[in-house]
Every structure is written in structure tokens, then in C-alpha cells.
Structure 1
Amino acid sequence: MNNGDEPLTITLSVQDKDGNEKARATGFASVCLVYEQAYQEGDLLKVETDETGVFLDVTLDESLPPATLFFKENSLLFPLPSGERSESYAPAAFKGDTHRLMARTVPATTVGGLRNLSLNPYDHESNHSVFPHATANVVTRGEAAFAARSAIDGEIANDNHGFWPYTSWGINQDPEAALVLHFGRTVLVSRIVIFLRADFPHDAWWQSARLTMSDGWSTIADLTKSGEGQVIEFEPRLTQSLMFDQLIKADDPSPFPALTQLEAWGCEVDT
């Protein structure tokens, strides 16, 4: 596994809906692409490396935070949001006629430290190659603002609901709702921070939820009516995924509990 100790070829590109390249930049260990045109409907952004199993710090728009991503495969395709999907991002995101994309390798000394292993503002439903990645068995009305990716996009504003910055995972009032956070490799997790959506009295809340690791180990998180991050700590656990389910709603007239952010704090195993 290359963790930034050896030069890595990285390519950034803008593609149209048919996969034709509109712009491209390649670098060793780091690369920047400035695209001086407005994006068109159906355009995609691509981050590609010449190796798999590597970590890159990726920034695909100046309005989004950088994220340390694990490339289980050698490329990430990011469909540019349009229509109602664009409302899950900052109003300026991917707009205008000047865009700056960046990617660089992450030194082993950096990637091996304690960090939030769940942060990925560039996740989307079709992503199965770059991690972390979130999936869910239900989403409120199928709307992008309530998609699974909203729980790992880094946004913790939770005193309202709906579009950015108030994105959240909505469960469509389904008691069997479950969200799974996929890491794409084995990691060591020791702390979970849960931000419930707290648009009270519109929102309800869960009084408890189950957290389950890929080896079957689980723990019950007792939750309260609060917009603060609620911390669950345990002995470090090796896992490839984290499931958030068995959501027990508090006795409240509102039918709308939701999850604003699920942070999994830990470190890498193989660095």
C-alpha cells in the first residue's frame, strides 16, 4: 500500500456526459486543475491514480472541504449535481466559470493518526470505488437532501432541516431504517459521535440506536434530545463497516427523527 512515501501519478479531468475529456491535468504526488468554463448538464469530475489502495486528499470545489479518501480502486467519478441534487451543496458549489480541483497523496505519518474516518463530502449513491461510502435502506421521499451521504458530508448544522447546510439522513418514518458506513478496508475505531437533527419541535429524536461492526460486535447508544454531538466510546475495534440501526424513537408527537452526522473516530491499521 502506497501511503505517500513514493511518487504517485494523479490525474484530474472534466468529462462530458459521454465520457469525452474537456480538460485534464496530471501530476506526481500532487496535481491542480483549473477549469475556466461553466460546467454543463451531465458533466463529471474524475480523479484517477496509477495505483490502488492509496490515500489522497481531494478537493473538487473551492466551496467544499478537502477529504482524505481511500482509493480501493484507481478512480473516482463524481457526477456534477444538478436539479434538486444541487440543493445538497452550498449555493456557489460547482457554479460560475472558474473551478479549481486539487488532489495530493497523504503521508503515512498523517493518514495513520487519529481522525474522523467517515468524512466524505464527495460520496454519492453510485460510488463503490472510493471510501468512506454510506448506504441506507430508506431515504425520505428519495430526496437528495435526505440521502445517506448527508450523514458523512461534514455538515453539522442541525437546528433546521431541508437543503444545505441542513442536510441529514431522513428515514421516511420507517422503524426498520438502517444506515451503513463502509470503510473499504479494515480500520480501528474507538469513538462514535452522533449529531441528531435538532429542529425542535418539528423534529423528534431517538432515545437509543444500535451500532454494529463488521465482525458482529454491537453496542447500544443511549441518546438524548440535543443538537450537540453525542459521544460513544469503547475499546478500539477492528472493522470494515459500521451499521446504525434499531432506532428507538422517543415519546414525542413529531414523527420526524433524523441523523445529521455520523462520525467514526479511529485510525488506520496498515500504514
Structure 2
Amino acid sequence: MFSLKVIDKNERTVAWARGEEEVNLMVARTYEEGDRILLEISKEGEYAWVQFDDALGKNLVYLTGIAHYKIPFGEKRINLSPKAFSGNKHLISVRKAKDFEVKSYRNLALNVNDTHENTTCFPHAFANVETRGEAVFAAKNAIDGVTANECHGEWPYDSWGINRNPDAEMTLDFGREVEVDRIILYIRADFPHDNWWKKVTVTFSDGEEKEFSLKKTGCGQEFTFEKKKITWLKLSKLIPSPEPSPFPALAQIEVYGTDL
């Protein structure tokens, strides 16, 4: 059972729908500050296709409880398409994933619905530093599926920015055990404004570390390894090139594998 609600700043429900395996909620209203979306599930550990806004699109996520999504305004939305959450007609949807969809080999890092506050809708990305705390440099930008990286700043050129911190780390939490064997990294490539990392270290939840060497390119850089079962991974030990720019950043990380 799924339930979708839009709740306003006064905790009033302004739109609501529910269903056994699929729900489509059309909201005929302009969003106001303080509005939030609530997705309720009848049992923990549900795989579902979730769409909180039709401009963001949908993807397969793993739900461990009630998911909250606060409608962004002002600076908090410039890392999203300007079409997102705009206008007076919106489609929110959720559908229970089919077994063959869950078991398929896919990018397990993708979550177009991730937020800082997210603790129940996986995957979830978070970091120990984000440049100036701005939305366009949040860790979640690295798992939004947007690989445009020829510039920096507002959407579609949002990225994970490290605020010149040599100890920057980003963690990708899958929320359950998965089996992975491939990582693709897109560094931000607004050269010469941007620098780039010569090496990055990936630490897996099983304790293993792998060091990957990168090139100065805007193309996705792919690394494969023996299949391993993990619940999270972390990027750290980001070694910049000797070029003068102090601004390396990550545009996107993709992690391929399967659910168990």
C-alpha cells in the first residue's frame, strides 16, 4: 500500500491519494513555501519507482520508511531544472517495482529525489563539506543523473563542490546490501576554471580500499573490479593535479550492479 500527500506549512493536507501498487497524484495548485510531499508505505524495505515532480523524472529507489520531500524555493532550487515544481499542475507518482526490475543490472547510485534530510529513500549521498553550503554544490547533485559538466553553477551544471578542502569525503549509502562491480566518475570539466583529481580512493563498507587514477577529461571514466557485496562506499583522498585552479569537483558518480 502506498499513500501520497501534499501538506502545507500549517500541516493541512491539500492533496492526497493512495493505492495498493501504484498511485498517481495530480496536484492542481501552485506550490507555496512550507509545502512538502509525504510518501507513506505499508511495510519497510519496499522497492518502488518514485517521482516527486514530473520535471525531475522517476527512478527505482529502496524505501525503508516514510519519505519526506520539502518543496524547494529560492537558492535551494537552482540546482534543479527551472521547470521543477513550477506552475499550477504537478504529477507525483509511485509504483511498486517488479521483481525483474529490482534484479536488473543498473546504476544503483541514481536518485533524482535525494535531499539533505533524506533517511528513508535510497540511495542517499552526503559529504563532510559542500562549497559554502550552496545547493548547486551539494553531494546529492552527484547522483541526480545529470552528466552535463562543461560549466559550473546552476542546473544543469550542478556538482559536488569540496570548498577547497583537502580532506573532503563523500559517502554513498545504498540503504541495503547490493553487489557492485563498476564505477563511472564524471569530474566537473569547466577548464581552466576547474582543476581535476589525479587520484581518488574509494573505500567500501567491507573495508577494502581501491585507488583510481583519473584523466583530465569531461567524459565518464570507468573502473571495473571483482563483484563485491557492500552497503555503502566513500570517496576520499582526492589528489588534485598541479594545475593552478583550486576548484576540482564531481559532476556525477554511477555505481553499477544488482540487488541481492
Residue from 228, 243, 248 that aligns with 2:239: 248
Helix, strand or coil for the counterpart of 1:110? helix
Give the structure 1 partner of residue 56 of structure 2: 64
Q: 2:107 aligns with which of 100, 116, 125?
A: 116
The 1-side partners of 2:10 and 2:240 are apart by 45
Deviation at 1:65, TM superposition (A): 2.0
- Offset at 1:46? 1.2
Counterpart of 2:63, as a letter, is F
Q: Match for residue 90 of structure 1?
A: 81
Q: Could you say what secondary structure the match of 2:156 adopts?
A: coil
CA deviation digits over 1:114-158, x for unaligned, max 9? 010011111111111111001100000110110110111111000
Find the partner of 1:50 among 42, 46, 65: 42
Instruction: Please list the CA deviations of residues 216-240 of structure 1 after superposition, one character each: whole Å capped at 9, or x if unmatched.
Output: 1111011000000000100011100
Q: Could you say what secondary structure the match of 2:78 adopts?
A: helix
1:234 aligns with 2:236: no
Tell me the residue number matched to 2:17: 25
Q: Percent identity?
A: 42
CA-atom RMSD, angstroms? 0.7
Candidates 135, 147, 161, aligned match of 2:126: 135
1:20 Cα offset (Å) = 2.2
- Equivalent position amino acid for 1:37 in 2: R
Q: Distance in 2 between matches of 1:116 and 1:85?
A: 26
Asked if residue 41 in structure 1 is aligned to residue 33 in structure 2, the reply is yes
* Secondary structure class of the residue paired with 1:266: strand
d(CA) in 2 for partners of 1:42 and 1:223? 42
Task: Return the alpha-carbon distance in structure 1 between the equivalents of residues 145 and 254 of structure 2.
Answer: 9
The corresponding residue for 1:206 is: 197
> Hey, what does 1:10 align to over in structure 2?
2
1:144 aligns with 2:135: yes
Q: Deviations over 1:151-209 (max 9, x none)?
A: 11111000000010001000000000000000000000100000000000100000010
**Pair 1:194-2:185 in alignment:** yes
Matched, 1:103 2:94: yes
Q: Which runs of 4+ in 1 moved over 6 A?
A: none
User: What amino acid does structure 2 have at the position aligned with 1:31?
Assistant: V
Q: Distance in 2 between matches of 1:161 and 1:240?
A: 31
In structure 1, the residue matched to 2:250 is: 259
1:180 alignment partner in structure 2: 171
Letter of the 1:62 counterpart: D
AA partner of residue 213 (structure 2):
D
Alignment-mate amino acid for residue 22 of structure 1? V
Which stretch of the first structure deviates more once superposed, 178-187 or 61-70?
61-70
Offset, 1:60 = 1.3
In the aligned structure 2, how far is the partner of 1:117 from the partner of 1:19? Answer: 34
Q: Distance in 2 between matches of 1:95 and 1:72?
A: 29
Q: Distance in 2 between matches of 1:19 and 1:208?
A: 48
Structure 1 gap ranges (5+) = 1-8
SS for the counterpart of 1:173 is coil
Q: Give the secondary-structure state (helix, strand or coil) at the position aligned to 1:84.
A: helix
Deviation at 1:47, TM superposition (A): 1.2
* 3-state DSSP of counterpart to 1:88: coil
- Post-superposition offset of 1:110: 1.0
Cα separation, 2, equivalents of 1:77 and 1:149: 15
Letter aligned with residue 209 of structure 2 = S
**Normalised by the size of structure 1, how large is the TM-score?**
0.95
Aligned residues: 260
